[in-house]
Amino acid sequence: PLIADLQKLKEGIEVVIDGTPQIVRACLDFFSADNLSAHELAGFQTHFNSGRICRTCTVDYSNFRVQLSEKLLVERTNDIYNYQLDSILRDPRNSSIYGLRHACPFTELDYFTVDSGFPHDVMHDCLEGVIPVTIQLVLQHVSSLGLITVEGLNDRLSRVVFPASSCKPNLFQKHFFWANGKIV
């Protein structure tokens, strides 16, 4: 029903404004959602710990923390999305290759494309994704130069006065500067 209503809105509906009939048209420009909801609706895999985890590019989970150059990534354009979708419809086993499970229902609208219709989830992508990884890489590099230690960072953090005790940051674990250490 939603798709049918959106198609009617694109064609236009007549409304009366101040006694004057007018045609009003509307289109679905994008669908804002968190990553899990956007992936489910767009047809992508809904787990982010293996396979093709990104709806913007085709990076594999095993490379996403080390593949830091956008130039080396393959962008998921509308043509690539349609090619991959056609491939999984012909052979469902291709689903795991592309990280795509089914068609997005909004693609029934002739103007909607998955590649531009699902903006990024800033909270998950930036605040829980890119920013902690960037901070981790910078701190690990500075540590490798011998300029900081985990103990030194923790000492400085413990001296910061926060407005509420619930705002205190987590201290870094001793293994933080190892390759598998993570900001939590």
Its sign, for the CA torsion 172, 174, 176, 177, is: positive
Higher per-residue confidence, 58 vs 177? 58
pLDDT of amino acid 173: 82
Q: 108-134 pLDDT, tens per residue?
A: 999 999 999 999 998 888 888 888 888
The average pLDDT across 5-20 equals 95
3-class DSSP state of 130: helix
Long-range contacts of 9-17 (CB under 8 A, 24+ apart): 10/109, 10/111
pLDDT band of 172, cuts 50, 70, 90: confident
Determine the Cα angle at 133 with ends 132 and 137, to 5°. 115
Cβ neighbour number for residue 99 with a 10 Å cutoff:
26
pLDDT of amino acid 136: 84
Cβ distance 76 to 55 under 8 Å?
A: yes
pLDDT of amino acid 67: 78
180 pLDDT above the threshold of 70:
no
Distance between CA atoms of residues 63 and 68, nearest Å? 9
What is the percent of the chain where pLDDT is above 90? 61
The average pLDDT across 58-83 equals 88
pLDDT of amino acid 160: 86
pLDDT of amino acid 184: 55
Entry pTM: 0.74
181 pLDDT above the threshold of 70:
no
183 pLDDT above the threshold of 90:
no
Distance between CA atoms of residues 93 and 170, nearest Å? 43
pLDDT band of 72, cuts 50, 70, 90: confident
